[in-house]
Amino acid sequence: MNKLAIILASILGFLNVNPGLSLISGFIFGKFFKPDSYNLGKLLLAISITGLGFSVNIGMISEMTVDYLLATIIGVLASLLIAWFLGRALGLDKHMCALLGSGTAICGASAIASVGTTIKASPQVMGFSFGVILVFNTIALFLFPLLGKFLEMPPETFAAWAGLAIHDTSSVIGAAMIYDPEFVNTATTVKLARAIWIAPITIFFSYMLGDRSLKFELPWFIWGYFLAATISPYISISPEISAVAKQIFIAGIFCVGASIRGIKECGIKPFIVGFVAWITCAGLSLALI
């Protein structure tokens, strides 16, 4: 069924459908056919994020990083602290507290993979953490554009808020595309500036819960995005590359949606911790922009 998933994902990408519709379509498809499409989806999303770098320049990235630095720091620290102390109060494993906090604070699945590998978290703990973050990440794709409209937020403000408060880069881009496609670049740039925190946070937890090594995994698409932004002014077809990247993104999010399952086994406590940490991060971010 992976071939059928690829065909459907390609069609939706070519048609430039709404990212939310692509995700729902993938979820429904996955319920019936259960394809093994998660890794393919991750790869397509990573490629699309790199491609979107051709629509910005390195100067824009530097400026936005500075503009939203305080909001980023406060959101990251608040998410980590709440996940840790609330999780421990509810009796959750230290590793799960660290992974839920990292996934909420930085960049979802990528942060969980990096921190989890470093502290040698069990497959079950990493799987449950992935599940919790995936649920809230999916909700954010639909909820944030609705909240933005309700609050009558200017598109640029909404894009910055999405970049500061939504877990995975995929849902940040999707929410921005739904709200106003013209400001996808803003949302992506703010988000990836936040994702760089994966390095110090992974090292911190390595010293706190792991073997005190300096190993960490910075997702390759972050480097790709910055490289693309650096060379984009010198490439005449940069707009075309960016347009294709958006189509690849829609295909990728279909594949991720088709892989969503097995969430019930997590239990309620990790969801409580993930929810409180996320709402706090979102609220503080909104107040600071």
Q: What is the per-residue DSSP string for 80-148?
A: HHHHHHHHHHTT--HHHHHHHHHIIIIIHHHHHHHHHHHHT--HHHHHHHHHHHHHHHHHHHHHHHHHH
DSSP 232: G
> Distance between CA 52 and CA 175 in Å, rounded?
15
Residue 266: pLDDT band with limits 50, 70, 90: low
Return the pLDDT at 216: 59
DSSP 23: H
Prediction pTM value: 0.79
**Does the pLDDT at position 262 exceed 80?**
no
DSSP string, 129-184: HHHHHHHHHHHHHHHHHHHHHHTT--HHHHHHHHHHH-SSHHHHHHHHHHH-GGGH
How much helix, strand and coil, in percent to the nearest 5, is found in the chain? 85, 0, 15
Q: Tell me the CA distances in angstroms from 271 to 84, 96, 251, 277, one per residue in order.
A: 13, 11, 28, 10
Residue 215: pLDDT band with limits 50, 70, 90: low
**Does the pLDDT at position 27 exceed 80?**
yes
> Distance between CA 78 and CA 99 in Å, rounded?
14
**Does the pLDDT at position 144 exceed 90?**
yes
Residue 264: pLDDT band with limits 50, 70, 90: low
Return the pLDDT at 80: 93
